[in-house]
């Protein structure tokens, strides 16, 4: 058991974005839940059921919808649910990488292919 010197730091629940695999505070991510009615965006973050977390940016949702969301939720996403999720994605900004230095963005695009 290693002792952490930063004892004052508050524990913030962290989750992994299933699009880009970045670990972030839960609050920074959007939850998707597998409910009895299907796979939906959980705007409250409290809906019962298996959940997955995704960044509020399109690139992560696109990756998630291509496969990682279904894997994370251990279910298949119906055509209807997929369409609903895709229309949700359209309401999101294309990129919101406020934390990244400007120069890194072009490099990242190349690597993703
Ligand atoms: Zn992400």
Establish if 100 belongs to a structural domain: yes
Q: How far is CA 28 from CA 5, 25, 77, 78, 103, in A?
A: 26, 6, 24, 27, 23
Mean pLDDT in runs of 10 for the chain (113 residues)? 65 94 95 96 94 94 96 96 96 68 49 52
Establish if 90 belongs to a structural domain: yes
Establish if 1 belongs to a structural domain: no
Establish if 5 belongs to a structural domain: no
Establish if 4 belongs to a structural domain: no
Q: How far is the CA of 31 from the centre of ligand 1 (A)?
A: 12
Residue 29 structural domain: 14-112
Q: Tell me the C-alpha distance between 53 and 28, whole Å.
A: 9
Q: How far is the CA of 3 from the centre of ligand 1 (A)?
A: 30
Domain with residue 58: its CATH number is 3.30.1230.10
Q: How far is the CA of 1 from the centre of ligand 1 (A)?
A: 31
Q: How far is the CA of 21 from the centre of ligand 1 (A)?
A: 6
**Number of structural domains the chain divides into:** 1
Helix (H) or strand (E) holding 106: helix 104-112
- Give me 73's structure tokens: 């939720």
Q: How far is the CA of 29 from the centre of ligand 1 (A)?
A: 8
Q: How many CB atoms lie within 10 A of CB 60?
A: 25
């Amino acid at each position: 058991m290693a002792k952490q010197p930063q004892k004052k730091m508050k524990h913030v629940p962290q989750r992994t974005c299933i699009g880009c695999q970045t670990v972030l505070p839960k609050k920074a991510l959007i939850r998707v839940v597998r409910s009895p009615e299907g796979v939906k965006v959980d705007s409250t973050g409290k809906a019962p059921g298996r959940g997955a977390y995704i960044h509020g940016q399109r690139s992560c949702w696109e990756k998630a919808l291509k496969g990682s969301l279904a894997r994370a939720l251990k279910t298949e996403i119906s055509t209807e649910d997929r369409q609903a999720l895709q229309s949700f994605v359209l309401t999101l900004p294309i990129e919101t990488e406020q934390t990244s230095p400007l120069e890194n963005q072009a490099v990242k695009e190349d690597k993703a292919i």
